[in-house]
Amino acid sequence: MATQGQVITCKAAVAYEPNKPLVIEDVQVAPPQAGEVRIKILFTALCHTDAYTWSGKDPEGLFPCILGHEAAGIVESVGEGVTEVQPGDHVIPCYQAECRECKFCKSGKTNLCGKVRTATGAGVMMNDRKSRFSVNGKPIYHFMGTSTFSQYTVVHDVSVAKVDPQAPLDKVCLLGCGVPTGLGAVWNTAKVEPGATVAIFGLGTVGLAVAEGAKSAGASRIIGVDIDSKKYDIAKNFGVTEFVNPKDYDKPIQQVLVDLTDGGVDYSFECIGNVSVMRAALECCHKGWGTSVIIGVAASGQEISTRPFQLVTGRVWKGTAFGGFKSRSQVPWLVDKYMKKEIKIDEYITHNLALGDINKAFDLMHEGGCLRCVLKLHE
Ligand SMILES: NC(=O)c1ccc[n+]([C@@H]2O[C@H](COP(=O)([O-])OP(=O)(O)OC[C@H]3O[C@@H](n4cnc5c(N)ncnc54)[C@H](O)[C@@H]3O)[C@@H](O)[C@H]2O)c1
Ligand SMILES: N[C@@H](CCC(=O)N[C@@H](CSCO)C(=O)NCC(=O)O)C(=O)O
Ligand SMILES: [Zn+2]
Ligand SMILES: [Zn+2]
């Protein structure tokens, strides 16, 4: 049955309130308006940022909403003026847009795009500042411009990457967030060079992707830091050469790393979202040149601090969103790299469940053994 131009009723997981179990609902998804694309989502993974917003600690968090931003699917229909994708195309929705026209996109200095960011932050579509989702006539907010915990979603055309139709969507859905973030933090943001020493704080999916990126960049030592010692075994497969558990030491972790590396590492990456660890990650860097990259997302009200002397003496503090990748241009390139076996994806997927099991999937995420859980959206 043709669905183009019609409201689609489908299943979605709705977050009605912070921390209350998500509810699988029949949701109405309106047709795409000008510059919009409606996507049949086939697979979505869960990222810790979904859990962060669900927890109520995200200052941009709005309820009720449909979370989810690491997914893949097939274009169902497009709105007026959409030229770059058409029904049937295989796509990855990208929470970081790329319009190629705004001040940010044209700067050549950043992957951030300004075109739809205020709308996505407000949980609505740019065209009419309204949501395309409703339940029994009541609007449900969008999330990060993607809302992939739904069998169908509507996104801005500048937030859609068209990918190789041969690529397995149950795997490449991970290229919507965590894996590119870690790889890009190394390749684009830090620009790690051969022989460099690297410390990675937090060995979840993002930290492991940092390790993979650092290995491919030719780093000589890749030191993983995690409070869960079980992470070391898996981390070795991603390139981590040494492991440090802060709980095994009486002295501050930055001192442990400085002592281990003759004055500090060349690059460090914070992949947790803990502001005390962000400080340690900066302070374990080598005087004169060490660079620390913040990747983790910290709760509302949290702030970073250090002695300015740390920066005066040459350490550099940076941050990265989506690993600095330009989404529409570079996600298809990452898909091709996966197809050529040049980057891992399968190894990050520890669990596969159905949409109806989404609350179980969030429970799993908080257990040490889960990296990414991929949900199948349709039977
Ligand atoms: N900037 C971006 O574009 C971007 C993209 C994706 C995810 N993120 C953020 O990156 C962070 C990591 O995501 P993830 O999915 O890998 O998370 P995760 O929870 O799977 O991994 C975090 C790891 O940190 C470890 N850890 C926790 N506290 C620690 C401490 N005090 N010291 C050392 N290790 C500690 C945990 O044991 C775990 O292994 C999250 O904050 C997420 O929101 C940011
Ligand atoms: N809404 C949060 C900010 C969350 C945040 O920093 N998001 C990251 C992506 S996390 C993906 O898992 C990001 O890329 N931010 C850039 C952007 O959102 O434009 C808050 O307000 O604290
Ligand atoms: Zn994410
Ligand atoms: Zn732009």
Whether 271 is catalytic: no
* 333/93 Cα distance (integer angstroms): 15
Tens digits of residue pLDDT in 326-341: 999 999 999 999 999 9
* 44/27 Cα distance (integer angstroms): 17
* 65/12 Cα distance (integer angstroms): 10
Whether 49 is catalytic: yes
pLDDT > 90: what percent of the chain? Answer: 98
Best residue for ligand 2 mutational test, from 58, 297, 304, 320 (most atoms within 8 Å of Cβ): 297
Pairing of strands 160-162, 90-93: antiparallel
Tokens standing for 302? 């949290």
Tens digits of residue pLDDT in 208-262: 999 999 999 999 999 999 999 999 999 999 999 999 999 999 999 999 999 999 9
Ligand nearest to the CA of 96: 2
* 156/82 Cα distance (integer angstroms): 9
Catalytic annotation, pick one of 10, 25, 36, 47: 47
Beta bridge partners of 270: 201, 294
H or E element at residue 364? helix 358-365
- Closest to 74 measured CA to CA, from 347, 379, 377: 377
268 lines ligand 1 (CB under 6 A): no
What's the residue count for the chain? 379
Burial 349-358 (b: 16+ CB within 10 A, else e): bebeeebebb
Whether 177 is catalytic: yes
What pLDDT does 249 receive? 98
Tokens standing for 371? 């990296």
SS3 content of the chain, % helix, strand, coil (to 5): 30, 25, 45
- Closest to 77 measured CA to CA, from 122, 123, 29, 115: 29
SS3 289: coil
Whether 99 is catalytic: yes
pTM for this model (two decimals): 0.98
What pLDDT does 342 receive? 98
271 lines ligand 1 (CB under 6 A): yes
Dist. CA 270 → ligand 1 center (Å):
8
Whether ipTM tops 0.95, in short, is: yes
Catalytic annotation, pick one of 10, 36, 38, 48: 48
What pLDDT does 149 receive? 99
Segment 143-149 shows an average pLDDT of: 98
Q: Where are the beta strands (DSSP E) in the chain?
A: 8-14, 23-29, 36-45, 70-78, 90-93, 133-135, 138-140, 152-156, 160-162, 197-201, 221-225, 242-244, 267-270, 291-294, 316-319, 349-354, 372-376
Q: Is the pLDDT of residue 1 over 80?
A: no
Dist. CA 303 → ligand 4 center (Å):
28
What pLDDT does 216 receive? 98
Dist. CA 353 → ligand 1 center (Å):
22
- Closest ligand 1 atom to residue 49 Cα is 43
Catalytic annotation, pick one of 70, 76, 98, 212: 70
pLDDT > 70: what percent of the chain? Answer: 100
Catalytic annotation, pick one of 10, 65, 94, 99: 99
Whether 69 is catalytic: yes
Tens digits of residue pLDDT in 39-86: 999 999 999 999 999 999 999 999 999 999 999 999 999 999 999 999
68 lines ligand 1 (CB under 6 A): no
Q: What is the number of other CB atoms lying within 10 angstroms of the CB of residue 55?
A: 12
Q: What string of DSSP letters covers 259-287?
A: HHTTS-BSEEEE-S--HHHHHHHHHTBPT
Dist. CA 309 → ligand 1 center (Å):
27
